[in-house]
Amino acid sequence: MARLCPPGKLRRALDLLEEDFARGLAALEGLARTYAKDPAVRAALGTAYLDDDRPFEALPHLEWAERKDPVPEVRDALLETYLALDMPHHANRLAARSGRVRPGDAPPAGPAARDADLSTEDRLAFERARTGAFYGDPTAAPTLERLLTKHPGYQPARNMLVTDQLLQGDLEAYVAAAGEAFALAPDDPHALLNAVRAALLEGGVEGACALRRHVEALEPDPGWGGDRYLARVGAWALMDDADAAEAAMAAYHDWVDTTGDEAQAVLADALDDLLERRVHDPRAPLVDLAELVMGLPRRWERQGAERILANVEASLAAMPGVVRELPDRIGYQAESTVRFLALALLHGGAAYAPHGAWPAVLERVARYGPGTLEARQALWSLLVETGHIPDDAAIPTDLAAADDEEDDDDDVRPEVPDLDELATLPVLEERWCVAVRPATFMIGREPEPTLTWLGAIADGDGLVRVATFEGEPFDTDALYALVARACIGAMTEAEPARPRFVIVEDVELVALLAERLAPVGIEVVEGDIEPALVAMHGMAEALGTGTPAWLAEVEDETVQGFFDAVVAFYEAEPWRSFHSERFLAYRVGDGPWRYVQVMGQAAQEYGLAVYPGWDEAQAFVEDRGEDEDSAAERLAEVGWLEGLSLTAIGALSPLDAGRYLISGMEPDLDDSVPAWLRFEADGPAVPEHGPGVYAVLVALVADHARRARKQVRRIDATAATPAGPLRVVYPATGDEAVGGGGGSGASEP
């Protein structure tokens, strides 16, 4: 039975919402985590998100609540949410189900005619994927791809896939895909708008104007709805043609007055604002990056300017050659924020609120690196051209020299101070710690995992003095360069100085550095390097997908044992000998019982899925039929999931990925490796136990699978792990916590 929230608790949260919206919303979010299966709580939270103009966040809560308890108030809120998200098919289906509108009353016309060959299920799937793409839902693109495979001629799905690449910041892929979509459907307004936008990104306003004749030929047609009207306005705006854009917008407003159809009012309002700005300031460009990249800046705003700037700082500080290929590519794998920085400067939009500090970040990169002299010089010139650095500003010495010297070295770094220079710096009574770790990034136009070594130095307060990559393991020269650059504060606001002590993590590194730094009075000692590790892990999350590192600080022997165990697991193919509807139970020491499902019987996902408890395991895997919840909703219900699966190496933390490559665990043909990952409602998290525990569990499952004649019938075993004894029972009954898990400790296939 679902755990329901006491009415008094919910009432107090709703009262608080009236008095202090932020605190009340936080209280409702807490209740929703605790009482995830209470429709009243989910409905209250969804309605609060809707009131806060966050319809996409409201959507899963209101949909779930309406399915479980379809009362009129919840249906009204859900209908309002569908309309706010421009999901008319969902809105019509909900209205029909409530008896307010009969399906089929309005004949399909205009854009709806394009959907004539689609089933109701496919129309709803497209609408949800389109909405999800605009709000950063990673499941949107796979859904669109499946629809396009099923309906190759369905241009709206193709257009939305193109737009999704733009929203994700993959500008190179976006430009290529926009050209392909336009070639297939030159008369489609969305395909043309994407083509004009892509041409602007590649060639500026002149590039966009190359498609002028196609925009002129895009005749508005009342039967098509507002698509063609708004596409014309947007295209003219991207070409910076105010007169043509104003005329096109007037035609759109006339059409709205005639038909009363304002389904695309959000885009129309944005275009109106662009034109209004031009009226008040003839010099204001119509090409506004906030409109150009659509939802991307809005998603960044929700992170907060401080968080974004910190991520950008970390990305720029850690990537050699970061500006090497402006504007097409940034070189190393980067957050979409870093790519956007370059484009923002190229198109004069770097002051876009609330991130006005971005030019200062790039100026520091231009002055101090990283990157080649040629790339830094190009960035300096760009900053001058766009007015972010005064024309008469003093050019850094090495950049000025680069005007007269050709440098073919692709990996020229800012000059490393010699010992004489370090000796002139003041001495700080500080201890700086040095961390060095292997890391793997996906690099290139067709990304391949590339092994590098990441080095970082932080002081005792956690301030990162320097961070850099090397193509090979750090030797004495590279370690010295790391410390020397930290002393001059190349990538920080810190004043140049040298520390009294440098702390490294083992005697081998002490031996490498001590003699080299002794002449300038820097003592190298073995000790705790936690501040540098924290900085390095944060940087790896910012540069990767956000997945925290799990293996980076584990001993080599333990990591290798885990790798050996998972390889043996996949070789044993346990999905052939474990029943798909039976669970394995385990506990570590006196900890709680966890429940495991062996996956792969349906030949789709091979591995192990771990659930927090028996009820959560049942709730997640039960057959829900037409009432099937989304994976995100079900994850919110159970609290967390973790387990073993075949995963793209790029989805791991760069620090964990580095451990795979140095251990010889190369990705297979599908670019995947066996990985143990944990997911919580807020995103990826560190697994409950370390790899030493899971290596034992995985090995035990693999061993029983190998020994089974057909099906594994029973396991009751105990094994030692680094965290305590591991108890394993199969098949689980859900009563393990009460009955102690059964028998004698023997097991049989």
Q: Is the pLDDT of residue 716 over 50?
A: yes
Quote the pLDDT of residue 280: 65
Quote the pLDDT of residue 650: 80
Cis peptide before 354 (omega within 30 of 0): yes
Distance CA 63, CA 81 (A): 10
Q: 280-334 pLDDT, tens per residue? A: 666 555 654 434 433 343 444 444 444 444 444 444 444 333 333 332 222 222 3
Q: CA 259, 262, 265, 267: dihedral to nearest 10 degrees?
A: -60
With beta carbons less than 8 A apart as the criterion, state whether 189 and 231 touch.
Answer: yes
Q: HEC profile for 531-571? A: HHHHHHHHHHHHHCCCCCCCCCCCCHHHHHHHHHHHHHHHH
Distance CA 528, CA 484 (A): 21
Q: Determine the average pLDDT of the residues in 682-703.
A: 93
Q: 574-631 pLDDT, tens per residue? A: 999 998 889 999 999 999 999 999 998 877 789 999 999 998 888 777 644 444 455 6
Q: 522-545 pLDDT, tens per residue? A: 999 999 898 888 878 877 776 666
Quote the pLDDT of residue 578: 93
With beta carbons less than 8 A apart as the criterion, state whether 580 and 714 touch.
Answer: no
Q: Determine the average pLDDT of the residues in 56-81.
A: 92
With beta carbons less than 8 A apart as the criterion, state whether 245 and 233 touch.
Answer: yes
Check residues 61 and 464 and name the one with the higher pLDDT: 61
Q: Is the pLDDT of residue 743 over 60?
A: no
Distance CA 355, CA 298 (A): 12
Quote the pLDDT of residue 406: 42
Q: Determine the average pLDDT of the residues in 126-151.
A: 86
Q: Is the pLDDT of residue 134 over 60?
A: yes
Distance CA 128, CA 91 (A): 12
Q: Is the pLDDT of residue 460 over 70?
A: yes
Quote the pLDDT of residue 740: 52
Percent of the chain having pLDDT more than 90? 29
Q: Determine the average pLDDT of the residues in 364-393.
A: 67
Among residues 362, 374, 378, 370, which one has the least CA distance to residue 402? 374
Quote the pLDDT of residue 79: 93
Distance CA 335, CA 68 (A): 39
134-148, 413-427, 459-473: least confident range: 459-473
Quote the pLDDT of residue 164: 82
Q: In what side-by-side order are the strands of the sheet with 498-504? A: 464-470, 448-458, 427-443, 498-504, 523-526
pLDDT band for position 2 (50/70/90)?
low
pLDDT band for position 39 (50/70/90)?
very high
pLDDT band for position 82 (50/70/90)?
very high
Distance CA 110, CA 568 (A): 57
Q: 431-440 pLDDT, tens per residue? A: 999 999 998 8
Q: Is the pLDDT of residue 267 over 90?
A: no
Residues 6+ apart with CB under 8 A from 212: 239
Residue type, 213: R
Q: Is the pLDDT of residue 340 over 70?
A: no
Quote the pLDDT of residue 245: 85
Q: Which two tokens stand for residue 548?
A: 């925290």
pLDDT band for position 229 (50/70/90)?
confident
The SS3 assignment for 526 reads strand
Quote the pLDDT of residue 169: 60
Distance CA 496, CA 693 (A): 46
Quote the pLDDT of residue 36: 83
Check residues 153 and 397 and name the one with the higher pLDDT: 153
Quote the pLDDT of residue 608: 95
Check residues 569 and 246 and name the one with the higher pLDDT: 569
Q: Is the pLDDT of residue 163 over 80?
A: yes
Q: Is the pLDDT of residue 343 over 80?
A: no
Q: What is the CB-side half-sphere exposure of residue 670 using CA atoms within 13 A?
A: 6
> What average pLDDT does the chain have?
77
φ, ψ (nearest 5 deg) of residue 94: -65, -40
Residue 367 vs residues 377, 384, 396, 490: alpha-carbon distances, Å: 9, 13, 6, 9
Question: Exposed, middle or buried: residue 584 (CB in 10 Å: 0-12, 13-18, 19+)?
Answer: buried
Element (H, E) at 142: helix 140-150
pLDDT band for position 561 (50/70/90)?
very high
Q: 171-190 pLDDT, tens per residue? A: 677 888 999 999 999 888 88
Quote the pLDDT of residue 46: 94
Residue 398 vs residues 179, 369, 378, 395: alpha-carbon distances, Å: 40, 11, 13, 8
Element (H, E) at 193: helix 189-209
Among residues 53, 98, 328, which one has the least CA distance to residue 201? 328
Buried b (16+ CB within 10 A) or exposed e, 518-542: eebebebeeeebbbbbbbbbbbbbb
pLDDT band for position 638 (50/70/90)?
confident
Quote the pLDDT of residue 473: 87
Per the listing, tokens 């910041």 go with 169
Q: Which two tokens stand for residue 315?
A: 């990305």
Q: CA 620, 621, 623, 624: dihedral to nearest 10 degrees?
A: 20
Q: 92-132 pLDDT, tens per residue? A: 889 887 765 434 444 333 444 456 578 888 889 999 998 88
193-202, 561-570, 667-676: least confident range: 667-676
Per the listing, tokens 């569990």 go with 697
Question: Exposed, middle or buried: residue 494 (CB in 10 Å: 0-12, 13-18, 19+)?
Answer: middle
Q: Which two tokens stand for residue 682?
A: 């807020």
Residue 225 vs residues 229, 260, 291: alpha-carbon distances, Å: 8, 11, 21
With beta carbons less than 8 A apart as the criterion, state whether 139 and 633 touch.
Answer: no
Q: Which two tokens stand for residue 22?
A: 């932020």
Task: Determine how many CB atoms are found less than 10 A away from the CB of residue 357.
Answer: 15
Residues 6+ apart with CB under 8 A from 667: 449, 648, 649, 660, 673
Quote the pLDDT of residue 412: 41
Helix residue spans in 472-529 (DSSP H): 476-488, 507-517
Quote the pLDDT of residue 491: 55
Per the listing, tokens 């099937």 go with 628
pLDDT band for position 198 (50/70/90)?
confident
Among residues 228, 177, 213, 168, which one has the least CA distance to residue 198? 177
Crossing angle between the packed helical segments 7-19 and 21-34, to the nearest 10 degrees: 160
Quote the pLDDT of residue 241: 83
Q: Determine the average pLDDT of the residues in 333-355.
A: 38
Q: Note every long-range contact of 390-399, with CB atoms under 8 Å and residues 24 or more positions apart, other chains counting.
A: 396/366, 396/367, 396/368, 398/373, 399/366, 399/373
Among residues 329, 292, 326, which one has the least CA distance to residue 197? 292
Task: Determine how many CB atoms are found less than 10 A away from the CB of residue 633.
Answer: 16
Distance CA 744, CA 749 (A): 15
How many residues are present in the chain? 749
Strand partners, 714: 748
Quote the pLDDT of residue 228: 82
With beta carbons less than 8 A apart as the criterion, state whether 691 and 585 touch.
Answer: no
Q: Is the pLDDT of residue 709 over 90?
A: no
